[in-house]
Amino acid sequence: DQQVKQNSPSLSVQEGRISILNCDYTNSMFDYFLWYKKYPAEGPTFLISISSIKDKNEDGRFTVFLNKSAKHLSLHIVPSQPGDSAVYFCAASAIFGNEKLTFGTGTRLTIIP
């Protein structure tokens, strides 16, 4: 049972445009959400997080939106740059007493110059 789902295995976006990566979850206990970026042969790099008390968190070019009623979150990258080409993982956990992360299957983002 996949509790965190990234339904788009891949996404191609023109350089300079907005990249939107989507993530859905099924477990209503999840209260804290993170996005990671992963290059081949490297560990995941933390990008941005959001807790359920917010519906938006912004950090530079990265913005995460959370729609708790729809159990949906998205990562917006704008403007997209060639260095953003990587696999992006959405992850979720329950804040209180449980830092274990459940990951989605990832979306491979390719930025076209």
Partner 1 sequence: SAVISQKPSRDICQRGTSLTIQCQVDSQVTMMFWYRQQPGQSLTLIATANQGSEATYESGFVIDKFPISRPNLTFSTLTVSNMSPEDSSIYLCSVSLDSSAGNTIYFGEGSWLTVV
- CA distances 103 to 25, 60, 93, Å, are 10, 24, 9
Compute the least distance from the CB of residue 8 to partner 1, in Å.
Answer: 14
Contact assessment for residue 107 and residue 84, using Cβ atoms and an 8 Å cutoff? no
Compute the least distance from the CB of residue 91 to partner 1, in Å.
Answer: 8
* Nearest residue (CB) to partner 1, 68 versus 79: 68
What are the residues binding partner 1 (CB under 8 A)? 32, 34, 36, 41-46, 49-51, 57, 89, 91, 93, 95, 99-106
* Nearest residue (CB) to partner 1, 42 versus 69: 42
Compute the least distance from the CB of residue 64 to partner 1, in Å.
Answer: 11
Query: Half-sphere exposure (CA, 13 Å, Cβ side) for 33?
Result: 35
Give the Cα separation of 15 and 84 in Å (integer): 9
Compute the least distance from the CB of residue 49 to partner 1, in Å.
Answer: 5
* Nearest residue (CB) to partner 1, 12 versus 45: 45
Query: Half-sphere exposure (CA, 13 Å, Cβ side) for 10?
Result: 3
